[in-house]
Structure 1
């Protein structure tokens, strides 16, 4: 790949890992780029750019998941990372090494089942918007989501005219993108789904006022530090400069965006962990396999087990004869998690469960 790039840029001594030398070679070819960033390069029509982008992709894969990564994190044919349950402030899992939660798509082909076993790969469709709907007890949004794509349901309700607009507006409401195009659409969502929008708007106001917010099960956000409080206090004084007032408003909005998302993302993490715990119990009660998973160790070599978990996705490694039972268990656990957290409120958490011998195929 590097040799081809040198040929296409007519620079036999080019070091493609040096941004300065690479930029110089691109300029010699008459390419009007100011950086070697992917976004800028993608807009340039030249054979060398295609090669360069592919080189960058492979170089990133090599650096992050090459031989050094294999030596440190892979043993006995298994990737063995270190997970930190609830390691993120909102309660999501984190990892302390190996990039367990950032596995490149190109590596999923290496995630393979043992002979006689299969992978059941399941993820929840639109988890966080559905969690918001249940937290707010917004029956209108629940009805829009029932048995179908939630964003299409919002379009059917007449709140917006396209699925793209529905997604942009709802994600903006949860993540704090309430200006620009997303902000333009927000009033329509507030009229159609006042309870859901009221919940995140109230969380944002609490954050802007320096207060903490909590998830459904009581995980509480941090409170602002002294510097933030002093900035806000200074902005209220009679002699405050315009720059001080602007800074205080900006920092208040930033905190409001954080608390707006905290309540939803944190509760979604609680739902996912409940799903995971229930599923583990169901898998443990299944009978032993007839065929060993030779590399899964003494505990899991004869039993279906969770091999990977990422926010709203699980991969279960199971004997081929238990595929149907495991797929049903994954769905039953999701239903149980919804009932445990939200009682009989009519919100569903539809799963896309696929079976394959490789995560890439699923």
Structure 2
């Protein structure tokens, strides 16, 4: 059963299995009544519809998020010839269709001049036509399904929240930074480290939080630096470096996850960030608030399970290089990872001498680090694993030519900008200057680094979506009809890592479900291909214990 929901008027309407749009009355009651038949709900934006259903304690099993699916179909090489992909830019191409509903004006737009909402029935028909005409409809349809499942998971995780102890967070900050200072002052330890920085370069009034001022005084002190990034500073020997790097680390903690963050984002014992599924062009998630995807290890001890509950923390081991091996069908690289630690397996094969070399070289291959240590190791990896290294090299060359690359399930990279193409055209003309040629070559290499990584990172994001969707389904079975937050449920996701909050008695069953879901995710992407995607699972009381 397919039910399309429409919110273009003050009265919500629905089309059931292609029928006429009819008023739904009370939305939660309407959805709850039909959900017993496990329909596929079709709506414009999960982040608008689903939170209000969850607030009414109504959960849905499946949906199609038209906004997310449109973005995929618009760019995918698998649907490039469809009417949807070739149509002029329209309202479905906006990052978001409309603000989320407000309690005081549920169906009104905040902006009276906003563009009218588009027709979800017509859009769904256009998307189905694009999939049907695709060169590989099953492949792209699977991507649309798991992308939409991810949107449901994001809304459910925000609703449930990540268990968070404000008292423990405050104790962590106090231990690392010193007691909370008065407004306008720095914590004691941060202030002490700052005095060491100032003394090392003899600038008593230095403001290290101003990159321009800091860079000027570092140069005055004789340091040949082009920026104040920690990566550049770490390679310099000078008395100011150690305290300066320490200051930057502490200041980052204070600004990103200090007391102000705690008061803003943690309420009623829960952290509820705004997840943005598909917020990165590769398909990775982003956040529009709370910084959940950059949660530092220093404060994870504040993530504490409720009394009588546990946290099941799992992460996929070396996910991206394993995805690369499977994408390329590189059996030698799969064999290296078969024992568990892929990098150790590369060392055991005799390709490199140390695990660090294996890791640096592989990351260089996937992210375009072709100079320095990774550049020296890359030829050895290419000889040992020609199919894997050849795949990312070809993806890089495609990007340098301005072509698209595509992930395992069908997400394609965006084209380079018109400015990029103009620069390439200028460099190929008869009157091209040396400067124009150099600039175009640099831009081409940069875009090649993007496409090199896109195909791997995007496919890894698809694996993670399949993993979470499978976990969600298995946890639903464990709930046995209970409301999902009363049983085991997902509460956190970070690229290749998940956290499930569950009653302690369910923890072992959850751990098994997480492992089984990882195996299923591999099958969904690669069928019976022999590459394994092992996950490390820990059952803990607080998130900090898992690492």
Paired residue for 1:355?
539
Q: CA deviation at 1:102?
A: 1.0
- The equivalent position to 1:241 in structure 2, one of 414, 428, 433, is 433
Q: Distance in 2 between matches of 1:235 and 1:34?
A: 33
Do the aligned partners of 2:343 and 2:355 also contact (CA within 8 Å) in 1? yes
Paired residue for 2:521?
337
Do the aligned partners of 2:339 and 2:345 also contact (CA within 8 Å) in 1? no
Determine whether 1:121 maps to 2:313. yes
Structure number with greater CO (CA < 8 Å, separation at least 6) is: 1
Paired residue for 2:365?
173
Instruction: Name the SS for the 2:468 alignment partner.
Output: helix
- The equivalent position to 2:474 in structure 1, one of 270, 276, 282, is 282
- The equivalent position to 2:271 in structure 1, one of 60, 63, 79, is 79
Q: CA deviation at 1:187?
A: 2.2
Determine whether 1:258 maps to 2:258. no
Do the aligned partners of 2:511 and 2:537 also contact (CA within 8 Å) in 1? yes
Alpha-carbon displacement from aligned partner over 1:149-171 (angstroms, at most 9, x marks no partner): 11111122222222222112211
Residues 58 and 165 of structure 1: is their aligned pair in 2 closer, same or farther, counting only changes over 3 Å? Answer: closer
Q: Distance in 1 between matches of 2:513 and 2:310?
A: 15
Q: Distance in 2 between matches of 1:98 and 1:338?
A: 31
Q: Distance in 1 between matches of 2:476 and 2:216?
A: 60
The worse-fitting range, judged by mean Cα deviation, of 177-186 and 244-253 is 177-186
Residues 235 and 56 of structure 1: is their aligned pair in 2 closer, same or farther, counting only changes over 3 Å? Answer: closer
Do the aligned partners of 2:194 and 2:244 also contact (CA within 8 Å) in 1? no
- The equivalent position to 1:133 in structure 2, one of 325, 340, 343, is 325
CA root-mean-square deviation: 3.0
Gaps of 5+ in 1: 290-297
Do the aligned partners of 1:4 and 1:51 also contact (CA within 8 Å) in 2? no
- Matches of residues 15-94 of structure 1 in structure 2 within 5 Å? 40=233, 43-45=237-239, 54-94=246-286
Q: Distance in 2 between matches of 1:288 and 1:43?
A: 61
Q: CA deviation at 1:117?
A: 0.6
Q: Distance in 2 between matches of 1:185 and 1:352?
A: 28
Alpha-carbon displacement from aligned partner over 1:130-166 (angstroms, at most 9, x marks no partner): 0011111111111111022111111222222222221
The worse-fitting range, judged by mean Cα deviation, of 50-59 and 105-114 is 50-59
Do the aligned partners of 2:490 and 2:498 also contact (CA within 8 Å) in 1? yes
Instruction: Name the SS for the 1:222 alignment partner.
Output: coil
Do the aligned partners of 1:288 and 1:302 also contact (CA within 8 Å) in 2? no
Instruction: Name the SS for the 2:293 alignment partner.
Output: coil
- Matches of residues 194-273 of structure 1 in structure 2 within 5 Å? 194-273=386-465
Do the aligned partners of 1:207 and 1:255 also contact (CA within 8 Å) in 2? yes
Do the aligned partners of 1:14 and 1:22 also contact (CA within 8 Å) in 2? no
Paired residue for 1:306?
490
Do the aligned partners of 1:121 and 1:359 also contact (CA within 8 Å) in 2? yes
Q: CA deviation at 1:51?
A: 6.5
Q: Distance in 2 between matches of 1:23 and 1:242?
A: 31
Do the aligned partners of 1:14 and 1:21 also contact (CA within 8 Å) in 2? no
Q: Distance in 1 between matches of 2:206 and 2:259?
A: 21
Residues 59 and 255 of structure 1: is their aligned pair in 2 closer, same or farther, counting only changes over 3 Å? Answer: closer
Residues 348 and 320 of structure 1: is their aligned pair in 2 closer, same or farther, counting only changes over 3 Å? Answer: same
Q: CA deviation at 1:55?
A: 5.0
Determine whether 1:149 maps to 2:333. no
Alpha-carbon displacement from aligned partner over 1:309-352 (angstroms, at most 9, x marks no partner): 00000011111111111111110000000011101111111111
Paired residue for 1:98?
290
Q: CA deviation at 1:281?
A: 0.7
Alpha-carbon displacement from aligned partner over 1:296-316 (angstroms, at most 9, x marks no partner): xx9444200111000000011
Q: Distance in 1 between matches of 2:452 and 2:411?
A: 14
Instruction: Name the SS for the 1:92 alignment partner.
Output: coil
Do the aligned partners of 2:265 and 2:273 also contact (CA within 8 Å) in 1? yes
Do the aligned partners of 2:312 and 2:499 also contact (CA within 8 Å) in 1? yes
Paired residue for 1:295?
none
Determine whether 1:325 maps to 2:509. yes
Instruction: Name the SS for the 1:219 alignment partner.
Output: coil
Do the aligned partners of 1:210 and 1:223 also contact (CA within 8 Å) in 2? yes
Q: CA deviation at 1:15?
A: 7.3
Gaps of 5+ in 2: 1-187
Paired positions, count: 349
Q: CA deviation at 1:66?
A: 3.1
Q: Distance in 2 between matches of 1:182 and 1:74?
A: 41
Residues 189 and 57 of structure 1: is their aligned pair in 2 closer, same or farther, counting only changes over 3 Å? Answer: closer
TM-score, normalised to structure 2's length?
0.58
